[in-house]
A and B are shown apart, each in its own frame.
Chain A
């Protein structure tokens, strides 16, 4: 257990529905990342927060995706009007101020039917 938690662990939804995932970071970590991982591939970067500021977004993050980190604590990732291509594992990772390694949560497995 890295201390990073994600909820829910699994989500099954129908195409066109909205979904929201939550990530609770290690308490003293001010940097938070979202990644997406599809079967047989490594994680791909989606977006990055330092405290409450969203500082970078990947071109993978279409207009249907939005992420927030109110008050620099937990973060949410919302996908609107889900598509079957959104089916993946969504991973959250956090990093402290000095060390460069990122610690990952258990992920949320999304299945869009």
Chain B
């Protein structure tokens, strides 16, 4: 069964304190791995797509990497406005291209 597990569930950082979020997955025929950011009461906001092991993508203070079993979202020198829930999802090999999400990591960055 396709499955996505994210850790930690919650993370508190001081402003400027870099860290990484983990997403481990088991899926048959990975089509893509996606990172989304979600603010309270809002829909997920697309961040990155990764397609193959070794691929990296960057956007401002965020960098996503992918291996054959997991993905990391590295946050460098975070700011309070980076506080949100970060969701990881995989797209399996079926025809619908539906996303299978993890439970997310709730990030709080304190000033």
Contacts and interface: CB of A to CB of B under 8 A. Distances in A.
B42 A107 contact: yes
Contact of B97 (A40, A100, A105): A100
Given A42-B104, A101-B34, A55 B43 contact: no
Chain A interface category by residue count: 20 to 34
Interface of A is mostly: strand
Contacts of A110: none
Interface in A30-58: 31, 33, 35, 40-45, 48, 55-56
A109 interface: yes
Interface stretch (B11-19, B63-71, B75-83, B87-95): B87-95
A103 B46 CA distance: 7
Contacts of B54: none
Contacts of B103: 40-42
Interface in A62-93: 91, 93
Contacts of A13: none
Contacts of B22: none
A93 to B, nearest CB: 8
A27 interface: no
A2 interface: yes
7 interchain residue pairs of minimum CB distance: A42-B101, A104-B43, A45-B98, A48-B96, A56-B96, A104-B44, A107-B43
